[in-house]
Structure 1
Amino acid sequence: MDPVKLLALVGLLVLGLLGHPTAVHGGRSCKFPAVYNFGDSNSDTGAISAALSEVLPPNGESFFGSPSGRFSDGRLVVDFIGKRATSKGKLSRPEDFSKALYTFDIGQNDLAFGFQHTTEEQVIASIPDILANLSQAIHQVYEEGGRFFWIHNTGPIGCLPYNVIYYQSKPGTLDKNGCVRPQNAVAQEFNRQLKDMVLKLRSDHPLAVLTYVDVYSAKYALISSAKDLGFVDPLEFCCGSYYGYHIDCGKKATVNGTVYGNPCKDPSRHISWDGIHYSQAANIWIAKHILNGSLSDPPVSIREACHYPKNVPFCFRFGRKA
């Protein structure tokens, strides 16, 4: 398959910038010519807005000043990845595809759909199929020349205010932070199997550099420390309404004299932007704690994500299929 068509079908072009990656030896940093993201609305920089439905204000108000296609008041984690991993310049060229960084941030939608329409047991049973499709997608990118992969695990879905509101809680099902314990347990099982998948991909694709990133731990740490960090209750959200009347962020409705949908005055104090997606302030904190490599396997920063195993000859590193 043509690389451009492949990326159009299963990925979201985040940022393409000219430059050349440098394998990390002796402390030198990588500079990728492009970053291509594959993910859901947590890392969508405009594809959904352009292809399906418009993202309305106040989305984007904290950074862009207007909607930017992002489901947040500002920047996403992937924006900070692009800023940290590339050099400034023009859009990338097809010949840069084999030198680009490919980021993956998925899983939340798959699990959420399962929780809404099936049982927890059925969601757990679906995980191997979900990951098989992801593995195939990564394999396809590899076959087209992709070599550098930065793979996020899924976050604590049971801590999303939307899920807490609609979950029929029972005694003992909420943890100390008010998160839905069974849903987080499923997310952790998803992540365990995802990590095993990454290990297998490393074995099957020795010329690839695959970094597994524990976003779950970063997000849960933020939620656990919310008040100490100056945030409001992590189960509060800034935009939209799920209480009394369901209204999406960017819309308003008046029901029996009550106005629903007015956004909060200070998004920077909220971890959750709209009950499902994170605020820019939260994304800044999360990015800081994952891009340094402390939560990665192997423990490399985003600027070291082009590091090859020592036994891979340099002549085979870029653009050569294996």
Structure 2
Amino acid sequence: MDFNLKLLFTFFFFTVSLFSGQGSAGGYYSNRHHRSHRLRATKLFVFGDSYVDTGNILVPFSSAQQFPYGITFPGKPSGRFSDGRVLTDFAGKHLGVKSPIPFSIRNEVGEERLKESGINFAFGGTGVFDTSVPLPNMTTQIDLFEQLRHAESGLSNRDVHLSVALVSVSGNDYSFYLATNGSAQGLKPFINSVVNQVMIDLKRIKRLGVKKIVVTGLGPLGCLPIFTAPFSFKQCNQTINSFVQFHNFLLKQAVDKLNKQITNQQHSYSSSSSSSSSSSSKIFILDVYDAFLSLIQGRGSGRVGLLKFKTPLKPCCFGVSSGFNCGSVDEKGNKKFVLCNDPKSAFFWDSVHPTQTGWSLAFSSFTSIL
């Protein structure tokens, strides 16, 4: 990785963590399998970063609390890092539950709302490890879930067993690593440590009673507008994507191994018990990497193939100076960004996050897993 690429990663981290809280969704697993493992979910529990955060970031300097975020839905900034709905919203709708309430406002909505949907513990800008953003990393988010399980929350064991956990693995860990002088030579070992920590987190969620866990790998980070801007939004950075593919390869290997262990444990339980398990326990990976690339490259079938983005790498909301300041204003209140005429015409909303339309189309590739 050359010096200029490292600078891009460094700028990416500080832009995202201070102003928007980027998260990355991606994966490696095929989305056309595992239809037989569907559960009728009663709740959705969400862990991760800004790709799934629906309002936990309440600090005023967050771009998600500024215009024009939320202009498509709900019509004003809501803490979502998009013009409208994000991955969590589409997952909830598909599962037949309301979008889970953000943990930050759980006390404002009451226990009945929790019973209807679940809780979103995701905070934009966080990673599986600590980043410079003083917010709960993945381990701490799971701590909050564990505390909720032990409290008088109205969550029965059956509710949790029939729930789905959505885990969004972040690119923030890698951005923070490079922004704090992590060497390019040490990046691959660091990727190993990130994937190992992800697996620790997934096992812990499973031990807390969630049988079905869906985790995102990394999407094509090299195709984010923050990295395609130097190429006039016409091509992805393949060097970055090669590291992403290494992460996804390791994640798939680790999840495959864990699922084999889970299957063996279930077979052992079934052979030693006269009662059958009520539902299978398994971990799945969303292949957002391929879903995003299909939309960017204008390929795909069905609903994904219906819409061809004219400039898929160009964001709808873009800063007029640095290019990465969607939602920012100067000291006089003047906008420091330009906005496209129609967010539905763009795949990317800002320098790192998809539009509601982008998420909607990408999600159509995930329905067989969820």
TM-score (norm 2): 0.63
- Cross-structure match for 1:42: 51
- Cross-structure match for 2:286: 213
Taking the aligned partners of 1:128 and 1:51, their CA distance within structure 2 comes to: 35
- Cross-structure match for 2:95: 85
Q: Which shows bigger deviation, 137-146 or 46-55?
A: 46-55
- Find the partner of 1:165 among 229, 232, 237: 229
Taking the aligned partners of 1:103 and 1:30, their CA distance within structure 2 comes to: 14
Amino acid aligned to 2:309: F
- Cross-structure match for 1:67: 77
Shift of 1:78: 1.9
- Cross-structure match for 2:347: 271
Does the 8 Å contact 2:215/2:286 carry over to 1? yes
Shift of 1:115: 4.7
Shift of 1:252: 2.4
Is it true that 1:239 corresponds to 2:249 in the alignment? Answer: no
Shift of 1:247: 5.4
Change (3 A) 1:245 1:87: closer
Does the 8 Å contact 1:240/1:251 carry over to 2? no
Is it true that 1:204 corresponds to 2:261 in the alignment? Answer: yes
Is it true that 1:248 corresponds to 2:325 in the alignment? Answer: yes
TM-score (norm 1): 0.72
- Find the partner of 2:206 among 142, 160, 168: 142
Shift of 1:119: 4.4
Change (3 A) 1:106 1:128: same
Amino acid aligned to 1:105: S
- Find the partner of 1:195 among 245, 252, 275: 252
Shift of 1:196: 0.9
- Find the partner of 1:183 among 216, 240, 260: 240
Does the 8 Å contact 1:120/1:186 carry over to 2? no
Change (3 A) 1:213 1:225: same
Shift of 1:50: 6.2
Is it true that 1:124 corresponds to 2:185 in the alignment? Answer: no
Does the 8 Å contact 1:73/1:280 carry over to 2? yes
3-state SS of paired residue (1:94): coil
Query: Could you give the per-residue CA deviations for residues 24-67 of structure 1, whole angstroms, max 9, x where no partner exists?
Result: 99x79632111111121111111123698462121111121011
Shift of 1:153: 1.6
Shift of 1:224: 0.9
Does the 8 Å contact 2:318/2:350 carry over to 1? yes
Amino acid aligned to 2:298: S
- Cross-structure match for 1:109: 172
Taking the aligned partners of 1:187 and 1:49, their CA distance within structure 2 comes to: 30
| Larger relative helix fraction | 2
Shift of 1:124: 1.9
- Find the partner of 2:197 among 117, 133, 136: 133
Is it true that 1:289 corresponds to 2:329 in the alignment? Answer: no
Change (3 A) 1:28 1:277: closer
Amino acid aligned to 2:235: G
Change (3 A) 1:77 1:87: closer
Amino acid aligned to 1:64: P
Identity of aligned residues (%): 27
Does the 8 Å contact 1:177/1:223 carry over to 2? no
Map of 1:17-36 to 2, 5 A cutoff?
30-36=39-45
Taking the aligned partners of 1:59 and 1:237, their CA distance within structure 2 comes to: 13
Change (3 A) 1:234 1:47: same
How many residue pairs end up in the alignment? 260
